[in-house]
Structure 1
Amino acid sequence: MPSLTRPEEAPGAVLVGVDTGQPHPDTQLHELHELALSAGLVPSASLWSTRRRIDPGFYVGSGKVDELKQQVVGTHASCVLFDNALSPAQQRNLENALGVPVWDRTALILEIFARRARSGEGKLQVELARLRHAATRLVRGWTHLERQQGGIGLRGGPGEKQIELDRRMLEDKIKVLQVRLHKLERQRSTQRRARARAGQLRVSIVGYTNAGKSTLFNALTHAHGYVANQLFATLDTTTRRIYLAPGAFAVVSDTVGFIRDLPHSLVDAFKATLDETLEADVLLHVVDLSNEQRDQQIEQVNAVLAEIGAQDIPQILVYNKIDKLQAPIPFTDRYAAHAGTGGRDSIKSFDVSALTGAGLDALREYLAAMAAARSTADGHPVIHA
């Protein structure tokens, strides 16, 4: 695991992972470590626990809670991060016992999205997801205000419960955001129909977060979008028209990255953005070939694609970051990843480095052939120079 030391001015966090009997994909908490850094926190300690059953009060046992308390005090941590989903009651009990805020994986990802959203649409989508998540946190959260006084002329009558007021307020805000996002969704739909009428190949770049999607997008389109070696560096969908060959053009869209246990509220909130994927003719599924968890990451991406109804769109596996490999990885060692895309063992794949440009010419030539074939099939003859 990366170093847990931190400068004194940086807010520290204690990382917690729990194995509940099912194989955990990240026993060293590498991904939670990266998520913490993306949220502006620096891990100062970590704790791993194995349990047969989840404790209904604290998720972990009382002994582990005592260990966590010691780590929080000893490292002066400002919060505790769980790599699991906590119930509202478990979160509240842990915060009372530890004396610091406790975030589960869902809340941490939502916080990162809130920090990274730049466009107006992105901010609306993240706000909608956070409100939906907050609506699940209201259960028994206002016992000190269980009843408020009744209306004018009443003295101490049984008024509306505070929790009901808060729930209705959240529901009203959610409805307003849904209306605003629906208007933006119609605008996107109009733009997609215009591109479809143009008969151009529509390409959508998908993949696990930090696999190099935005770097590949910049390399293909000669754009200068923001890229960084961190999770969820970019959230906003960007679309560009690119020249591939004489008479062969394509429209390429870079979409938000996926991650294990991506909150459903985020998938729902980003539906308008993810519709770019549904309208694509082909998906460039970017995979970090240097990551030992690449097969599991491919499966997670395919799971989200299936959730939004994009599982049947043809894929091209783009094995990225070959510049980081000490030695080439034999193709036979990647067969499991190919089978994970729905049993299509003949799926096309390319080894590339989006950073150095290695292998991109072959990918462009393949896309140019697809674009030319689509143009001819749509009745738009390919014009050669």
Structure 2
Amino acid sequence: MARAVEPESGLVLPQTPITKHQIPTPLYLCIVQMCYFVTNENHKNHKEVLLTQNDKQARKYQITINNPTPEYTHDRIKEILSLQFKTFSYAAMADEIGEQGTPHTHIFVCFNSAVRFGKVKKHFSRGHIESAKGSIEDNINYIKKAGKWADTAKAETTVKDTFEELGNRPPENKGRRGDLEELYHMIVEENLSNAEILRINNDYILQIDKLDKVRTTYLQEKFKGIRRLDLEVIYVYGLTGTGKTRDILDEHSDENVYRVTDYKHPFDGYTTESVLVFEEFRNSVPLKDMLNYLDIYPIQLSARYANKYACYTKVYICTNWKLEKQYEHEQRNDVESWEAFLRRIHKIKEYTKDGIIEYSSVEEYMNRASRFTSIAELSEKEQLEIDSLFPTANE
């Protein structure tokens, strides 16, 4: 279903309540269809966020349980950790009463190997869960309100004599070997950015070049033999200055996006970014090469100094051209390749001066002339004409 997304809704509603019996049947069906689509889209987006979050892994977690019920007593928490997590290593916990009077339990837990967020959430469904940053000592001090938290307002919230530990406290990985293991863990298992790593331990600023090398080596080894089954290709077109690139950068963060702007040497600067953007695309890459770039199979990207392995899982093709204007020669002389190009595109977004129109497939885009039009896409005049169909109670 095509969808219009506008900066501000221009929808004009009737001044008095109406029933479905007062609405002409075709219009009523359109409204129902539009409401179903919006609800379905919101549910789908929420589900996608949960899937992405559940897939994250870490060895250390901080869990906060507000208003703990009998199912989350200290004994029950220790039982869950001991019986439900085979790689459980250590936990510290304590109770607090917040400034607003809310009782809660803080838990710091360590595992011998990375555990998925979704598994932790499954057993602590009411808890606020996040990957623990900083050293083990820092996290334990936070639970106890010791160290740098000892003389803060937070220390006042601790419930006396509720601090408990379970298991053996892991070592802090001191020394050069320990530092390297910690770096590997933060880069590979926690997938932290350079900025996040430096916030945890600013001593690594002297090894900033090594962070990139480790990350690049790991990701290239990972992707050189893996099919990117989750690869998504989105064709984005529209007027200049309507925010096509800005929206992509805002959604994915600048550091995760590689923008192709030099089509002579497109991948010289590529360093395993997960999002690839072809800027100002106008037949800029031979179709046979484009088919490879948009395929799920492992591929080396040609570069002048050293080839790179494709690690991206999302591709945007940004342009001022409508899709049907691309590769016009191939459309006439190599229909099979043109159709293969269309099959690789999952969504299309059209940027207009009034907003964004999204098409969930190439087929829907190609049939857009006969597509359903939502009320939100109508002009104010057209909406007023519809409004006039509904007599008010006084008429």
TM-score scaled by length of structure 1: 0.24
TM-score scaled by length of structure 2: 0.24
Whose RCO is larger (CA < 8 A, sep 6+)? 2
| Bigger CA radius of gyration | 2
